[in-house]
Amino acid sequence: MSCDTNQLLLLRNLSGGKANSGNNETNQDILQLITTYILKGYAIRKIEAFNDRIYLSRYRRNYWLGTKYYYMDNFNYLPTRDTCLYHMDSNERENLEYIDESPIYDIIYQCQRYAQYCCGLTCCLDKFGKDLHSSFLYREALNPWNTSPTFQSQLHFFSCLIFVVHYLYI
């Protein structure tokens, strides 16, 4: 999928990787779930540092409303993942505000680096063959002639473990 200028303004990979607009139905579903949680529950909420994150189990992903606090989440924000920014239009962000009544423009979420990329409000699977860096790492890890010390020590450990288990049962 290619992106036009409008799509690039709506979605960015803050880590420098690729991004596209994704599936519009999925984007609308995620927006509906997020806004229902914040605006249509028994208590309308405004966003602060302690409630800016929403976990959607359906998509197995954390979403942070706005860009003020997400990087301070020490347990759920992982700097080793690709960080995606979805810029909401005026209809999507209606009534979403911080506690100081400033508007929220963006939704932040993360994808697994080298395996996924930003795709609307979710992540799409990145084919290893298309990204030279990730395909090199993938081939290197699966190479049967890999002689790195870490790989060799793991192989030696499992060989010994199999021998011991076999010896005990004979």
Same structural domain, 117 and 165: no
Q: What's the total number of domains in the chain?
A: 2
DSSP codes joined into one string, 56-96:
ETTTTEEEEESSSSGGG-TTT--TTSEEEEEE--TTTTTT-
> What pLDDT sits at residue 154?
53
Instruction: Examine the pLDDT at 141 and tell me if it is beyond 60.
Output: no
pLDDT at 29: 93
Judged against a pLDDT cut of 90, whether residue 25 lies above it is answered with yes
Q: Do 104 and 25 share a structural domain?
A: yes
Indicate whether 117 and 146 sit together in one domain: no
* pLDDT band of 54, cuts 50, 70, 90: confident
pLDDT-based confidence at 1, cuts 50/70/90? Answer: very low
In angstroms, the Cα distances linking 6 to 9, 16, 87, 95, 122 are: 5, 18, 11, 23, 18
What is the amino acid identity at position 81?
R
**Cα atoms in the Cβ-side hemisphere of radius 13 Å centred on 112:** 10
Does residue 141 share a domain with residue 78? Answer: no
Cα of first residue to Cα of last residue in the chain, in angstroms, is 58
41 and 119 share a domain? Answer: yes
The residues, ordered by sequence, that sit 6+ positions from 143 with a Cβ below 8 Å of its Cβ are none
Q: Is the pLDDT of residue 163 over 80?
A: no
pLDDT digits (tens, 9 = 90+) for 67-87: 776 766 666 777 788 889 999
Instruction: Identify whether residues 95 and 79 lie together within a single domain.
Output: yes
Exposed/middle/buried for residue 58 (C-beta within 10 Å: 0-12, 13-18, 19+): exposed
Same domain, 88 and 50: yes
Residues 121 and 40 in one domain: yes
Tell me the mean pLDDT in the region 43-66.
77
How many C-beta neighbours within 10 Å does residue 108 have? 22
The closest alpha carbon to 9, from 114, 109, 106, 103, belongs to: 106
**Containing structural domain, residue 137:** 132-169
Percentage of the chain modeled with pLDDT above 90: 9
45 and 60 housed in the same domain:
yes
The answer on 160 and 104 residing in a single domain is: no
pLDDT at 19: 85
* 145 contacts: CB under 8 Å, gap ≥ 6: none
Q: State CA 22 to chain mean position distance.
A: 14
